[in-house]
Amino acid sequence: MGKIERAIKALEALPPERQDDIADMIMELTEALQDGPGKSVLTDEQLEEVQRRRASGFQTGDPTRIDKLIARLK
């Protein structure tokens, strides 16, 4: 049994409302992928926020820095 078949079997074991939620997510992802490479799955507002943060000097998390912060908070 391939991955798709296993995924469908797992999906069928869920309650109908969860099946619908996951089906919606799958459809959104496949539609985004069909739009072609480089097409973002972010909304225009989300893209604007990313651009705003980049312009303001926002730095992505450095895993080592985050690990040190967590260790300090323990």
- Residue ranges per structural domain of the chain: 3-73
pLDDT score at 59: 74
Whole-number pLDDT of residue 3: 92
Res 36: pLDDT: 63
pLDDT tens for each residue of 11-66: 999 999 999 999 999 988 887 777 666 667 788 899 899 889 888 887 777 888 88
pLDDT at 40: 72
Residue pair 15/7 in contact by the 8 Å Cβ criterion: no
pLDDT at 41: 75
Please give the C-alpha separations between residue 7 and each of 3, 12, 19, 27, 52, in angstroms, as whole numbers.
6, 9, 11, 14, 38
